[in-house]
Amino acid sequence: MAVNQMRSFLKWAGGKYKIINRIQQALPNGRQLIEHFAGSGIVFFNVDFEEYLVADTIADLIHLYKQVQVQGNNFALYASALFTPENNTEVAFYDLRAKFNACTDLARKSALFVYLNRHCFNGLCRYCSKGQFNVPFVRYTKPTFSSVEMLNFHDKSKRAVFEVADIKVIMEKAEIGSVVYCDLPYALLTTMANFCSYTKDGFTLNDKQALADCAKKLIGRDIPVVISNHKTESTQSLYSKAKIISFEVFIQRISIFQPNFLYTREFVCN
């Protein structure tokens, strides 16, 4: 299962680059990986399956992945043109952020998404209640555009399908040979962790319960499901029937938490 570790071309809150080895070890073999909550795509990028179904509820993210998949190098050149010293200023950032929020052209919007990701605070992706991207500018010395990672992603995406969909819809697509991995938005342990509210609707306890119910059904059909999240009382009780692998992770700029690896392969059906 383990392959070389590759970085993503996006920064992402809760990105799993530093613990990718743990995830590689926990994922069983299978024909197809179904990854909801894909974020920066680091798990998709660093595991080896014949096929992938990669999903997230952030439509702008999935549209970007489709642009990279279809256009490859042309898109990389197009997006990289936004990475100029003139665009690394507060004025240019807020102008481009407004253009992104008003944009309806998918290629342009996707290129702007990459620009915002590398010029905004900590690469966060957060939308206000009206659905507008609202993360503020931070002046990094030299924001990086990762064309190598983008082109590697393009190559790998030939075996992938990208979808914006609700988790239930995605999980219903699982069949024998599928392995499901869900990296849930973290529980809010501190005020700073509010940044983990990626979408305007957030991810509620009811959503977590619904996901746990879906996971149980899949386990009952012999389809393995692996879920990662913080170790809290509520997650422990939600996944009390799961095999749980716990370890500590330092989350940069937020705090030291004890997130858990909740491994539901051995979920027992009620």
Alpha-carbon separation of residue 71 from 64, 134, 160 (angstroms): 10, 27, 14
| Block residue for tokens 């799993």 | 16
Q: How many CB atoms lie within 10 A of CB 85?
A: 9
Binding mask 104-123 vs ligand SAM (x if CB under 6 A, - otherwise)? --------------------
Say if residues 3 and 43 touch (Cβ distance below 8 Å).
Answer: no
Binding mask 140-159 vs ligand SAM (x if CB under 6 A, - otherwise)? --------------------
Binding mask 29-68 vs ligand SAM (x if CB under 6 A, - otherwise)? --------x-xx-xx------------xxx----------
167 forms part of the interface with ligand SAM (CB under 6 A) = yes
Q: What is the CA radius of gyration of the chain?
A: 18
| 245-209-267 Cα angle (round to 5) | 40
How far the first Cα of the chain sits from its last, in Å, is 31
Nearer to ligand SAM, 71 or 199 (CB): 199
Nearer to ligand SAM, 88 or 170 (CB): 170
| Min separation Cβ 217 and ligand SAM, Å | 18
14 forms part of the interface with ligand SAM (CB under 6 A) = yes
15 forms part of the interface with ligand SAM (CB under 6 A) = yes
Binding mask 174-213 vs ligand SAM (x if CB under 6 A, - otherwise)? ---------x-x------------xx-x-x---x------
Q: Is the dihedral of CA 17, 13, 147, 36 positive or negative?
A: positive
Burial of 268 (0-12, 13-18, 19+ CB in 10 A): exposed
| Alpha carbon of residue 183 to chain centroid | 7
Nearer to ligand SAM, 16 or 156 (CB): 16
Q: Would you tell me which residues interact with ligand SAM (CB under 6 A)?
A: 12, 14-16, 37, 39-40, 42-43, 56-58, 167, 183, 185, 198-199, 201, 203, 207
